[in-house]
Amino acid sequence: MNHNSVAGNENNHTAAHVHRDDVGAKLGMWLFLFTEVLLFGGMFLAYAVYRYQYPDQFRIAAMELNTGIGTLNTVILLTSSLTVALSIAAIQKKNKFLSILMLSLTVVFALMFMVNKYFEWMAKIDHGIFPGSEELLGRPNGQILFFGLYYVMTGLHGLHVFIGVIVLLFMLYFLIKNDITPDNYTKLENAGLYWHLVDLIWIFLFPLFYLIQ
């Protein structure tokens, strides 16, 4: 009787320990995401200041961006947020195959975004529009600042997308190896949170650079 009580207490202690680890992991992810918000928040503030100073030049420069590609990338990232959420929901419902499928689609969408962004950047670079180029330096200060912010902010966002792809690929590996299960999917949830932030940042970047009226 006493032995069973001791065993029961040990099991309860173990369960509580796992629960605290999960909570700690989620808290750590939220703190990390907060630092990311601060980073991009500073950049958005700089953008707002310079746009206030050079509203006309920002509009002229924005007209040279490909709104079609920007719109397509927005749809791609929004869809990828849906698929990563469906992946988490699937593993919660013990559907491993669907979870793997949805997460694989998320990776595909992320790669599509990066390919589109690559061609968009290359088109601008081929026209001599990049930081430090003679073409750009010959323009008014407002346009120089616009494209400087464009490359820095979309480039940093692209880096986050790349990191996100690596993280998602690790999650795929963990799913396949049963390291992520219906009873232990915190890692996948945290990866999903990171990916949602990446998508959210783009939702702000898209209108700021592509939809200036």
For residues 203 and 177, give the distance between their C-alpha atoms in angstroms, rounded to a whole number: 34
Amino acid present at 90 = A
Residue 117 reports pLDDT greater than 60: yes
Determine the pLDDT at residue 6: 44
pLDDT at residue 33 in the model? 84
Higher pLDDT, 133 or 10: 133
CA distances, 150 to each of 100, 124, 157 (Å): 34, 11, 10
Neighbours of 65 (CB within 10 A): 21
Q: Give yes or no for a contact between 111 and 83, defined as CB atoms under 8 angstroms apart.
A: no
Torsion of CA 147, 152, 153, 158, to 10 degrees: 120
pLDDT per residue as tens digits for the range 53-112: 999 999 999 999 999 999 999 999 999 999 999 999 999 999 999 999 999 999 999 999
Write the pLDDT tens digit of every residue in 12-59: 444 444 444 677 777 888 888 888 989 899 999 999 999 999 999 999
Which residue ranges form the domains of the chain, and what is each CATH number?
2-210 (1.20.120.80)
pLDDT tens-digit profile of 147-179?
999 999 999 999 999 999 999 999 999 999 999
- Which pLDDT value is given to residue 21? 64
Cα–Cα dist 177/156, whole Å: 32
Helix (H) or strand (E) holding 136: helix 134-137
Q: What is the pLDDT of residue 24?
A: 77
Does the structure show a pLDDT above 70 at 8? no
Extended beta strands in the chain, E state:
none
Angle of helix 141-176 versus helix 96-126 axis, rounded to 10: 160
Find the range with the poorest average confidence among 10-19, 89-98, 135-144, 185-194. Answer: 10-19
pLDDT at 29: 83
Give residue 213's pLDDT.
61
1 pLDDT more than 70: no
Scored b (16 or more CB within 10 A) or e, 8-35 reads: eeeeeeeeeeeeeebeeeeeebeeebee
